[in-house]
Structure 1
Amino acid sequence: MDVRNTSIEELKSKLTGTVMSVGDPQYDDARGVWNAMIDRKPAVIARCRNTEDVCYAVRFAGEQGLPIAIRGGGHNVAGHAVCDDGVMIDLSEMRGVTVDPDQKRAIVQGGALWRDVDSESQKHGLATPGGLISDTGVAGLTLSGGIGWLRAKHGLSIDCLKAAEVVTADGSVVRTSAEENPDLLWALKGGGGNFGVVITFEFELFPIGPEVMFAAPIYPLSAGPEPIRFWRDFVSEHEGLIGSLCEFSTAAEGEDFPEEYWGQKVFTLACVYNGDAAEGEKLLQPLRELGPMAADFSGRMNYVEVQQLFDELMPAGDFRCYWKARYLSELPDEMIDRAMADAAAAPSANSLSSLWNFGGAVSHVPADETAFGDRSMGWMYSLDAVWSDSKEDAANIAWSRAGWEESAKWDHEGRIYLNFPGHGEDNLELTKRAFGPNYARLAQIKAQYDPNNVFRFNQNISPAA
C-alpha cells in the first residue's frame, strides 16, 4: 500500500487535526523548525488537536512500519522534531495550560511553549523552572533536564515534574506518577523523547514574582578575566540563591550600547535572584561594580519579562545553528581564559558562548533518583554557533566543536547536556556517557514501552535485548 495515498486518506478521516504530505499547501511550513539548517521531509505530518489524534497517528506509524518524530516546540538545535520518511507528530495545536493555585500544580499540554506556562502561572504569582527563551517547547526542554533561571532554589524542570500522560508505541495512553508506573516517570526525568509522546505534563509550582531581581552588567572582553573570576566565586558563595551564567556575545549596533562598543566582544554576568527582589538587588550589586561597563540591563522586573529577555537573540527560523555543551567539574582560571579566547575567535557576531553555574537545589537530588543522573557538576560550558550564510557552515561548526573539545580537560565524567547536542552526530557515545550507570535501567524501560525503537529521533536509547 502506498503510504502517500490510500492509508493517508484513511488517517485524514480519523483525525480532527490536519494531515499533510509532500505537495500539500501547508506541508513545507509545517516541516520547518527553529534551526534554519534543518531540511527534512517526513512522509506524513499529523498535526494533532487532542489525545485521540495522537493515538491514531502513533498507530498509523506502527501499521506502516514508519518511525516517529515528535514536534513540541520545534526548538531542538539538532532538529529532532522532524524526520525524513517517517511520521512527524506535530503537537503545536495542543498548547493548553491549566493552573490549580490551591494545589500549586500546572497541567501542561505537550505542544505548549514556556511562555504559555509562565503566562498562566504568573496570574497566580506562581512559576516552575523553565528555560531562558520563552518560545522553547516545554516537552523538549523538560525531557532532557531543563536548565533555567530558577534552578538555584527549585532545581531543574524535571525536579518539578510530578506526573505525565504518555501515548506509547502501541498507541495506548499511560499515566505515570510516583504511584502509577513510576519507572516511566523516572525515565521521563532526563531520558528524552525515547518513551512515547507526552501529551500532558503535571508540574509543581512555587510562589515567585511577579517582580524578581535580574542583574545583567555587561563588560567589554578587554576588561580581562578578573570580573569573571569574581563572578565565579560570588555565585559559588550564594549557589542556593542565584541562577546565573556568564554569556559572551558581540555588542550590537543600536541604542542598547554606546557607539564606542558597537561590534566589540562583551560578556554579561546575568543572574536571577531566586527570592525577594529587594534582597536580590542588594545582594547582586557587587557584580555591577567590577569596572567600566559597556551597558547594564540590571533591575527589578516582571518575571514574565525576564523569561522573554533572550528571545530576540534567536528568532525562530532566522539562523543556522550548531550548539555543543559539556558539564565541568570545576571552573579554574585557565578554563575562564579558554572561554574568553573562544569568544574572541567566534566567526559570527551572532554566536554566543556561556559558563553556567550549578549547585544549589540542582545538586541536592541523588544520581539514581532521576534518569538525568549525577548532579555533582559545578558548571557547564556551552558554545552556541549562530550564523546566516550557508557558506559559513564549516567555519562556525568548527569553532563550536573546537571550543567544546578543548574544554574536555575540565569536564565532569565526560557528561553532556543533551539539549545542546550539536547535530546529533555524537549521539551513541555521548548518550551513554551522559546517563552513566542509569543507561542500563533506561534501556530496560525503553524495551517495555518502545521495544521496536519507534521513537528514535532523539538522543536514542536502544531497547534492551
Structure 2
Amino acid sequence: MTTTTDPGGVRSTAAPVSDTAVAGLRAALRGEVLTAADAGYDEHRRLWNGSIDGRPAVIARCTGADDVRAAIRFGRDEQLPIAVRSGGHSFPGLSTCDGGLVIDLRRMNRVRLDPDSRVAAVQAGVLLGELDERTQEHGLVVPAGIVSHTGLAGLTLGGGIGWVMRRDGLTVDSLLSADVVTADGEVVRAGEDENADLFWGLRGGGGNFGVVTGFRFRMHPLGPQVMAGATFWSTDDAERVLRFYRDWVAEGPDELMTIVVQRLAPALPVVPPELVGRPVVAVAACYAGDVDEGQRVLAPMRGFGTPVLDVVSPKPFVAHQKMFDPSFRHGCWYSVRSCDVARLSDDVIDVVVEFGRRITSPLSSVALWQMGGAVARVPDDATAFNGRSAGFTFNINGNTAGPDGFEEQRQWARDYWTALAPFHTGVYVNFLMEEGQARVRQAYGETKLRRLTALKRQYDPTNLFRRNQNIAPG
C-alpha cells in the first residue's frame, strides 16, 4: 500500500490496483493504458523536471473526452490519487503521483484554426510550439509562454504570461471557452454565456475544477517576423544596466515585452567561447509590432554601456519562442522561488545585483518579467488570476543537470527569494512549488480564494482533483 501527501495536506492511501480493474480500464479506453509492467511506462512517467521521480500505478493516455471520463471514473472507483498531465512542465511535478492514476492528455493534440474569424480550437495536450507553428502560418498568435515544449493547458489554467501579453493580455484573456470533464464525469462547456462562474474560475484557478479537454482562443495578428532577441552585459555592470532599464521600460509601448535574465553565459553557438561561463545580465525582448519600429524602440537599451553580446535582430516569432528552450531542457533538476514586486526600487535592484553575483551553476538563472500593459487594464475581478497590478514577476531558478549540487542551488534560490521578502506583493500560481496553503492564499488573495472555494465545493466537493495548487472545498 502506498501513502502520499497531496498539496493542501490531503493524505491519500492507494491500495494496489487489481489486474481486473486495469483490464476494465483498457477495455473502456480508445487510448493506451500503461502500468509498470508495460513497455513505455518509464518513458511516459518521466516529467520535464528530472528531480521529480513519480511512479504512478496506472497511466491513462487518453484520446478524447470519453477516455477522460472513463479514466476519472476508474480513479474514483479505485480511490486513487489522480494527476493530470498535458506537457508535464509543472515545476513541483504535480502532473504525476506515486501509486495513483495519471490522466495523460498528450495524445489529444489537435489544433483547428479559423483564420477568418481568428478563432483557434485547441486540444489540451498541445504544446506551445505546436500551436505557434500552426498560428504563425497565418500571421496570428495565441498569447502564451516562452518555452516551446511547455503544455498549453497548464499554462492557460494558471493565467499564462508570455511574450505578447503586454499587447494582447494573458493567455486567459484570449480564452473564449473551455470544455471540462468534472469530478462526476459530466462534460460541460464554460464560457462567458455558459457556466460563467466556472469560466471565471478556470481563468487562473488551475486544474481544481475538472479536466479541461479543449480550449477555444481568440487569435491576434503577429509577425511572422518580429524584432527580438537579447542584449548581454557583464554582471559587473548590472546595477547601472538595471537602473537604466527601469527608466527605459517605464516609457515603453505595449508592443514591447522584456525579461531581465541573470545567469552564467551559456555554451551556445551564438555565444563567443571566451564569454561562456561568465556571469552576465541580459535584457531579452520581443517587439510585437512593426520590425522597423521595434528596432527604434529597442535601440536605447541595446546601446547602453558596453554590451558583451547582442543577438537582437528581425527573426521569425517561432524562432524567438524557442530561445529559452536550451536553458530549460527535459530531465534537468529544477527548483524555483517566485514573487511579484511593485517596482524595481533601488533596494530591489541591490538584492538583484548581490544574488546575481552568487550564481555558480550554468543552469541556474533569474527571469525578471516585465508586467503591465494590457494585463493591467483587464479589471482585477474579471478572472481568477491575481496579480494584474504587479510591476514585475521574479522567477528564481536554482537548477542543475542532475542531483550533484542541486541542494546548493535550491538554497541559493530560496535565499534570493527571502532577501526580496520585504518587497513581495504576490505570486504567480504557475511559478509555485509545493509551498503550502499560505502561498496558495497569497497567489489568489482572500476575496478570490473565497469565490474559488465556493466553486470547488460546487464542482469537486470531495477534492478528487487535488494534485495542483490546491483550493480545498472546505
Superposed pair shares fold, TM > 0.5? yes
In 2, the alpha carbon distance for the partners of 1:333 and 1:190 equals: 31
Is the contact made by 1:239 and 1:358 (CA closer than 8 Å) also made in structure 2? Answer: no
RMSD, aligned CA: 1.3
Q: 1:274 aligns with which of 288, 301, 309?
A: 288
1:59-97 per-residue CA deviation (whole Å, 9 max, x = no partner) reads 111111122100000011111110112110001111111
1:98-120 per-residue CA deviation (whole Å, 9 max, x = no partner) reads 11111111111011000111111
Q: 1:212 aligns with which of 211, 226, 231?
A: 226
Deviates more, 1:250-259 or 1:115-124: 250-259
> Are 1:170 and 2:179 matched, yes or no?
no
Deviation of 1:3 (Å): 1.9
The residue that corresponds to 1:228 in the other structure is: 242
The residue that corresponds to 1:103 in the other structure is: 117
The residue that corresponds to 1:433 in the other structure is: 442
The residue that corresponds to 1:416 in the other structure is: 427
> Are 1:445 and 2:455 matched, yes or no?
yes
> Are 1:243 and 2:243 matched, yes or no?
no
The residue that corresponds to 2:394 in the other structure is: 381
The residue that corresponds to 2:6 in the other structure is: none
Question: Partner letter of residue 131 of structure 1?
Answer: G
Deviation of 1:129 (Å): 0.8
Structure 2 gap ranges (5+): 1-14
In 2, the alpha carbon distance for the partners of 1:136 and 1:51 equals: 21
Deviation of 1:253 (Å): 4.1
Question: Partner letter of residue 359 of structure 2?
Answer: A
Map 1:47-446 → 2, pairs under 5 A: 47-253=61-267, 255-317=269-331, 319-412=332-425, 415-422=426-433, 424=434, 426-436=435-445, 437-446=447-456
Deviation of 1:330 (Å): 1.4
1:345 aligned counterpart, secondary structure = coil
Map 1:9-24 → 2, pairs under 5 A: 9-24=23-38
The alignment-based identity, stated in percent, is 39
Is the contact made by 2:223 and 2:288 (CA closer than 8 Å) also made in structure 1? Answer: no
Is the contact made by 1:4 and 1:43 (CA closer than 8 Å) also made in structure 2? Answer: no
Question: Partner letter of residue 85 of structure 1?
Answer: G
Is the contact made by 1:73 and 1:111 (CA closer than 8 Å) also made in structure 2? Answer: yes
In 1, the alpha carbon distance for the partners of 2:268 and 2:258 equals: 26
1:13-56 per-residue CA deviation (whole Å, 9 max, x = no partner) reads 11111111122221111110000000111121100111111110
In 1, the alpha carbon distance for the partners of 2:227 and 2:268 equals: 25
1:117-159 per-residue CA deviation (whole Å, 9 max, x = no partner) reads 1111111111011100011000111111111010111111111
In 1, the alpha carbon distance for the partners of 2:229 and 2:76 equals: 50
The structure-2 alpha-carbon separation of the partners of 1:246 and 1:254, relative to structure 1 and needing over 3 Å to count, comes to closer
How many pairs align? 459
2:380 aligned counterpart, secondary structure = coil
Question: Partner letter of residue 108 of structure 1?
Answer: V
In 1, the alpha carbon distance for the partners of 2:58 and 2:450 equals: 33
Moved segments of 4+, more than 6 Å:
none
In 2, the alpha carbon distance for the partners of 1:355 and 1:177 equals: 32
Deviation of 1:254 (Å): 5.6
Deviates more, 1:204-213 or 1:255-264: 255-264
Deviation of 1:224 (Å): 3.5
Structure 1 gap ranges (5+): none
Question: Partner letter of residue 344 of structure 1?
Answer: R
Is the contact made by 1:194 and 1:458 (CA closer than 8 Å) also made in structure 2? Answer: yes
The structure-2 alpha-carbon separation of the partners of 1:381 and 1:239, relative to structure 1 and needing over 3 Å to count, comes to farther
2:399 aligned counterpart, secondary structure = strand
In 1, the alpha carbon distance for the partners of 2:225 and 2:440 equals: 38
In 2, the alpha carbon distance for the partners of 1:255 and 1:110 equals: 34
Deviation of 1:260 (Å): 3.4
In 1, the alpha carbon distance for the partners of 2:260 and 2:268 equals: 22
Deviation of 1:222 (Å): 1.5
Deviation of 1:374 (Å): 4.0
Deviation of 1:215 (Å): 4.1
Deviation of 1:352 (Å): 0.8
